[in-house]
Amino acid sequence: MNDNNGYAVRTDKLTRRFGSFTAVDAIDLAVKPGEIFGFLGANGAGKTTAIRMLCGLLAPTEGEAWVDGLPISSKAEEVKRHIGYMSQKFSLYNDLHVIENLEFYGGVYGLDKAEIRSRSTELLARVGLEDKGRTMTVDLSLGYKQRLALGCSVIHRPNILFLDEPTSGVDPIARRQFWDLIYELADQGTTVFVTTHYMDEAEYCSRVSIMVAGHIEAMGAPEELKTKHDVPDMQQLFITLVNR
């Protein structure tokens, strides 16, 4: 049953337990097509567990979610073909050239050789790696590896892109440049679902949710949430919610 009601991502009391520990506790989300949705929270809040369920990598204990109109409980494999996913630890092959990583992922997503060639060339230019196609991936800086991982995750032009703490460990300039790339993708119609524990990155999102100990404690546009809770910035909002 297609019960996403036109949303790119929707959840209904999505829950995941590990034994007696509840990592994600009955969360409800509704993300619109083309939206940059920030999924915020401290380390251990349940963000990665939630995103792994949405990507079809982990089965929920209870509840349901629909991604691009597909229920994750029964269509997990199909969901994987409709999305792009960039994990916290970039899934790159260090013993391959930059261009070879793109070609490999193009093949994984079922693109033919002509599509792989044209899209790889296009992506190298888009992510600022056009002069590094024959560079060994192991020799790239962390910021460049981040850009390559993004390129690999969108080579098949997915409707929805999941980014799990993609800017963790990189410097502020690289983080800003990476967000410029996210804006470009969203402008072209891609729905971007991004998890982060950097509260300043919330300002870059259309809407955000803030997760605390497996629960969604707040959701809305950044300015709306700051006004509602009478705080000057997202960092203070987060501290207020955690302490509450």
Chain segment 23-49, per-residue pLDDT in tens:
999 999 999 999 999 999 888 889 999
Is the predicted pLDDT of residue 62 greater than 80, yes or no?
yes
Does the pTM surpass 0.85? The reply is yes
Phi, psi dihedrals of residue 86, rounded to the nearest 5°: -120, 115
* Per-residue pLDDT, 4: 63
Tell me the average pLDDT of the chain.
Answer: 91
Average pLDDT over residues 90-103: 92
Distance CA 7, CA 10 (A): 6
What's the pLDDT at 1? Answer: 37
Q: What is d(CA 220, CA 229) in angstroms, rounded to the nearest whole number?
A: 12
Angle at 126 between CA 193 and CA 54, to 5 degrees: 20
Identify the band that residue 101 occupies on the pLDDT scale cut at 50, 70 and 90: very high
> Please, how many CA atoms are within 13 Å of residue 115, restricted to the half-sphere of its CB?
13
CA distance 226 to 231: 5
How far apart (Å, rounded) are the C-alpha atoms in residues 226 and 205? Answer: 14
Q: Is the pLDDT of residue 239 over 80?
A: yes
Structure tokens at 232: 């000057």
DSSP 8-class letter at 210: E
Residues 6 or more apart whose CB falls under 8 angstroms from that of 73 comprise: 59, 60, 64
What pLDDT does residue 168 have? 82
pLDDT > 80? residue 94: yes
| Helix extents (H) in the chain | 47-54, 76-82, 98-108, 113-126, 142-154, 172-187, 222-229, 234-243
Instruction: Decide if 23 contacts 48 (C-beta within 8 A).
Output: no
Q: How many CA atoms lie within 13 A of 152 on its CB side?
A: 26
Determine what percent of the chain falls in helix, strand and coil, rounding each to the nearest 5: 40, 25, 35
pLDDT of 59 strictly over 70: yes
- Tell me: pLDDT of 70 over 80: yes
**Is there a contact between 133 and 99 (Cβ–Cβ < 8 Å)?**
yes
Class of 9-91+159-243 per CATH?
Answer: alpha beta
pLDDT digits (tens, 9 = 90+) for 120-146: 999 999 898 999 999 999 999 988 998
Q: What is the DSSP letter of 36?
A: E
Q: Tell me: pLDDT of 3 over 60.
A: no
Pairwise CA distance, residues 120 & 44, whole Å: 35
Please state, in angstroms and rounded to a whole number, the distance separating the CA atoms of residues 183 and 87.
Answer: 19
Instruction: Tell me the two tokens of residue 54.
Output: 């949405």
Instruction: Give per-residue pLDDT as tens, 148-203.
Output: 999 999 999 999 999 988 888 888 888 888 899 899 999 999 999 998 888 888 88
The alpha carbons of the chain give a radius of gyration, in whole angstroms, of 18
Distance CA 233, CA 226 (A): 6
